Amino acid sequence: MTTTTPSGETSAGQQPEKRDWVALENKYYQHTFKRNLVMERGQGARVWDANGTEYLDLVAGIAVNVLGHVHPNVVRAIQEQATKLIHVSNLYINERQVELAEQLYNLSGGMRSFFSNSGAEANEGAIKLARKFGRLNRNGAYGVISMERSFHGRTLATTAATGQKKYQDTWQPLPDGFKQVPFNDLDAVKAATDEKTCAILIEAVQGEGGIYPASTDYLQGLRAWCDEQNLILIIDEVQAGMGRTGKFFSWENMEVRPDITTMAKGLAGGVPIGAMLAAPRADIFEPGDHGTTFGGNLIACAAGVATVRTIVDEHLVEHADDLGEYLEGRLQELRSRHSSLITGQRGLGLMRAFDLADPKAQDIMDQAMERGLLVTNAGPSTIRFVPPLIIERSDVDEAMEKLDASLSAL
Ligand SMILES: Cc1ncc(COP(=O)(O)O)c(C=O)c1O
């Protein structure tokens, strides 16, 4: 039998085989994604495909590659850790895990961490913790109120918490105890709260739903309502965290402190990780309540420590704030040049979006890709920007030129 190495070299001879990755994916991978670009390498805010074509990457793994691609600090941390110990299980103390938890404790003003592998898992942990709080403090209450247009993950419970019909319909019946109310509407939350409610779950800036920030009054109103009713406030920071909005945690923009906050995406600069942080009021898990085999693995936490340290040392939170303002200004110019196509814009820091008069987001992404620019969408009529925090003004200028040409070509 002839086998093929990852580089395409065959065991039968030295001649490297040129592989048709699109056809092979079609044959071997489940059809969960629609895609045809084969990515090969990256550096900073740039990626190159298998044909050597360069792209300015403003998708950043959908808000994951906060330090851009292959940042030397992250690469070094992974390499050093991999030569010492890769995995030990959560039966033992893992130094990198404690270091990352210490960084997050200091940045969050005293919240303790539990690490998982993804955002959905972090939210599952948050829901379980809130249910335990409800059991102990609110006569067994277990209900979670979340928001319309929200996104919290793809597990069954986080799908039930996600306020978008398109993610829910196929999987009915979903777990009990979840309901959604309109975003930025405090009265709707109050009206939906009953004796079964234990928590309110919200993104301070809705990401997948289209980059909608919560108003300060609303989020502060939710905090006060949770205090008054003895509920847990969970803020999902999976997309908006890690400095993206011009604050390390997006809820700092609204001067609100949650009882539980969840993180993932950018936390380890591209290595899979999730985190569920609890303030003292909600920090009630005991041994046996929750666990994970891989969560908080040494490699993920080593990458996480390096990522958080780099964000702090290189003042990337302030940089995101500054560049976000610049991007907002350049988007306003783009909008005035294409006023019949672009109908609105929103965002905070380097988390921005513009709306289209027609559902043409896919056409714009295709046009931009042809011009060497990667942007993503949030639904059929919204273009979303979640670039690496390390981008420069010249990158924004280049992106705007390419978008200008893409919009003109529609
Ligand atoms: C706000 C938010 N929460 C949760 C998730 C789920 O994260 P993951 O895909 O890592 O499970 C996402 C993913 O896009 C997200 O944007």
**Domains of the chain, CATH where assigned:** 21-70+315-408 (3.90.1150.10), 72-313 (3.40.640.10)
What b/e readout covers 307-341, taking b as 16+ CB neighbours within 10 angstroms?
Answer: bbebbeeeebbebbbebbeebbebbeebbeebeeb
- Whether residue 237 has its Cβ less than 6 Å from ligand 1: no
| Average pLDDT rounded to a whole number, residues 243-256 | 98
Q: Please give the distance, rounded to the nearest whole angstrom, from the Cα atom of residue 261 to the centre of ligand 1.
A: 13
**Ligand 1 atom, smallest distance to 155 CA:** 11
**CA 265 / ligand 1 centre spacing (Å):** 7
**Predicted confidence (pLDDT) at residue 13 exceeds the cutoff of 80:** no
Q: What is the pLDDT of residue 273?
A: 98
- pLDDT the model gives residue 1: 41
The pair of structure tokens assigned to 80 is: 């050093």
Q: Which two tokens stand for residue 104?
A: 């997050």
Q: Which two structure tokens, joined as six digits, stand for 344? A: 């609105």
Q: Which two tokens stand for residue 90?
A: 């959560």
Note the pLDDT of residue 278.
99
Q: Which atom of ligand 1 is nearest to the CA of 120?
A: 11
Contact 202, 236 (CB under 8 A): yes
CB 94 within 8 A of CB 79: no
pLDDT in tens, 382-396: 999 999 999 999 999
Phi-psi region of 139 (alpha: psi -120 to 50; beta: other; left: phi over 0): left
Look at the block and give the residue holding tokens 């925090």. Answer: 389
Is 48 buried (19+), middle (13-18) or exposed (0-12) by CB count in 10 A? middle
User: Which whole-number Å values give the CA distances from 222 to 148, 214, 254, 297, in the listed order?
Assistant: 15, 11, 11, 34
What is the whole-number distance in angstroms between the Cα of residue 238 and the centre of ligand 1? Answer: 6
Per-residue pLDDT band for 15 (boundaries 50, 70, 90) equals low
Mean pLDDT of 132-142: 98
Query: Is the CB of 239 inside a 6 Å radius of any atom of ligand 1?
Result: yes
Cα 20 to middle of ligand 1, angstroms:
31
Whose tokens are 């502060």? That residue is: 220
Please give the C-alpha separations between residue 345 and each of 96, 156, 182, 212, 213, in angstroms, as whole numbers: 40, 32, 20, 10, 12
What letter would DSSP give residue 250? G
Question: What separation in Å is there between the alpha carbon of 236 and the centre of ligand 1?
Answer: 9
Q: What is the pLDDT of residue 112?
A: 98
Cis peptide before 272 (omega within 30 of 0): no
The DSSP string of 295-364 is TT-HHHHHHHHHHHHHHHHTTHHHHHHHHHHHHHHHHHHHHHHTTTTEEEEEEETTEEEEEESSS-HHHH
Cα(209) to ligand 1 centroid in Å equals 11
Q: Is the CB of 241 under 6 A from ligand 1?
A: no
Residue 236 near ligand 1, beta carbon < 6 Å: yes
Position 130, amino acid: A
- pLDDT mean across residues, the chain: 96
- The SS3 of residue 168 is helix
Does 208 sit in the ligand 1 pocket, CB within 6 Å? yes
Query: What is the predicted pLDDT for the residue at 12?
Result: 57
Q: What pLDDT does residue 404 have? A: 98
Where do we find the tokens 């992106």?
399
- Three-class secondary structure of residue 56 per DSSP: strand
Mean pLDDT of 159-173: 97
Q: Give the gyration radius of the chain's Cα atoms.
A: 22
Quick check: CB of 346 below 6 Å from ligand 1?
A: no
pLDDT over threshold 80, residue 362: yes
Q: What are the Cα distances from residue 179, in Å, to 96, 158, 171, 288?
A: 38, 12, 16, 29
Q: What percent of the chain has pLDDT over 90?
A: 95
Using the structure block, give the residue that is written with the tokens 């039998």.
Answer: 1
Contact assessment for residue 303 and residue 78, using Cβ atoms and an 8 Å cutoff: yes
> DSSP secondary-structure letter at 163?
B
Ligand 1 contacts CB of residue 151 (under 6 A): yes
In ligand 1, the atom with minimum distance to the C-alpha of 208 is 16
Which amino acid would we find at residue 410? L
Tokens standing for 341?
């196509």
User: Length of the chain, please?
Assistant: 410
120 lines ligand 1 (CB under 6 A): yes
**Residue identifier of the C-alpha nearest atom 3 of ligand 1:** 152
pTM attached to this predicted model: 0.96
At 42-54, the pLDDT tens digits run: 999 999 999 999 9
Mean pLDDT, residues 24-51: 95
Q: How confident is the model at residue 2 (pLDDT cuts 50, 70, 90)?
A: very low
Q: For 176-233, how does the pLDDT look when each residue is reduced to its tens digit (9 = 90+)?
A: 999 999 999 999 999 999 999 999 999 999 999 999 999 999 999 999 999 999 999 9
Overall average pLDDT of the 320-341 stretch: 98
Q: Is the pLDDT of residue 117 over 90?
A: yes
Q: Which atom of ligand 1 is nearest to the CA of 265?
A: 10
- The order of strands in the sheet holding 382-385 is 342-348, 351-356, 382-385, 376-377
pLDDT of 314 > 70? The answer is yes
Tell me how far the alpha carbon of residue 15 lies from the centroid of ligand 1, in angstroms: 42
- Which pLDDT belongs to residue 18? 86
* 258 CA to centre of ligand 1 in angstroms: 18
Between CA 373 and CA 210 the distance in angstroms is 20
Q: How far apart are CA 351 and CA 213, in angstroms?
A: 10
User: Both tokens of residue 169?
Assistant: 């319909």
Q: Which atom of ligand 1 is nearest to the CA of 272?
A: 10
